[in-house]
Copies of this chain bind each other. A is one copy, B any other.
Amino acid sequence: MHSNRGVLIVISGPSGAGKGTICKALLEKHDNIYISVSATTRSPREGEIEGVNYYFLTKEAFEQKVNENGFLEYANVHGNFYGTPKVNVEKMLEEGKDVILEIDIQGALQVKENFKEGVFIFILPPSMEELKKRIIKRGSETEESLMTRFKNAYKEINYVSKYNYAVVNDTLELAVSKVESIIAAEKCRVDRIKENTILDSKEGLIHEQLYD
């Protein structure tokens, strides 16, 4: 096992807050950050690639994986299933890689129950007006599903209190920089260092710490 286990970073928040853009920027900038590719039963949008954007599963295949306890979390969002395959995430963390989960709030709360050491970041839109604009701009929704998304987004803002961090996605650069700071800071947290025994193994301080 790698001496420094990676950090699981859960990027979540209401639909349209800009989670995806932030994750994309993080992945481009950092070699040690990996994204967990989710599985879904929804149809691919234009340009989406199997195994890159999502693993596109039939409902039957998805249910089988659920029964095998193969998801870190899964949820039914707007009538489609989304889930995070467990085995990939565990493997990457053990190899010392930082793993980002970009998931909706229902999923994040499930992960929180199982992964207390995860870092839970809630992405907030700059304002609710801006959130509306972004959801409309996405343009791949029927009017009915748009209304559902608006209402859900309003409700979902309240879940910020369940998270460790809140980042307002006002400008992309600033939001990305805040998430970078959060990851760097988390690696310095004493509770996390104790778990990972960084101080013991890496900094060569075990002897001096124990020897008094």
CB pair A127–B157 under 8 Å, yes or no, is no
CB pair B194–A161 under 8 Å, yes or no, is yes
Interface: A3 (CB within 8 A): no
Interface: A178 (CB within 8 A): yes
* In the complex, residue of chain B having the shortest beta-carbon distance to the beta carbon of A203: B168
* In the complex, residue of chain B having the shortest beta-carbon distance to the beta carbon of A194: B161
CB pair B158–A212 under 8 Å, yes or no, is yes
Interface size class, chain A: 35 or more
Question: When A127-B204, A184-B181 are in contact, do A157 and B209 touch as well, CB less than 8 Å?
Answer: yes
Interface: A173 (CB within 8 A): no
Scoring A residues 173 to 212 as 1 if CB is less than 8 Å from chain B, else 0, what string do you get? 0000110111011101110011000010001110011011
Interface: A147 (CB within 8 A): no
Interface: A105 (CB within 8 A): no
A205 to B130, CA, bound (A): 12
A208 to B184, CA, bound (A): 32
Residue numbers in B under 8 Å from A208 (CB-CB): 128, 154, 157
Whole-angstrom distance between the Cβ of A23 and the nearest chain B Cβ: 16
Interface: A71 (CB within 8 A): no
User: Which of A157, A178, A194, A205 has its CB near the most chain B CB atoms (within 10 A)?
Assistant: A205
Instruction: Name 7 extra pairs, CB < 8 A, besides A121-B188, A163-B190.
Output: A126-B203, A127-B205, A154-B211, A157-B208, A157-B209, A165-B188, A181-B184
Name 29 interchain pairs, CB-CB below 8 A, sorted by A: A124-B205, A126-B203, A127-B203, A127-B204, A128-B205, A154-B208, A154-B211, A157-B205, A157-B208, A157-B209, A158-B209, A160-B199, A161-B190, A161-B194, A163-B190, A164-B189, A165-B189, A166-B188, A166-B190, A167-B188, A168-B203, A177-B184, A178-B184, A178-B188, A181-B181, A181-B185, A182-B184, A182-B185, A185-B186
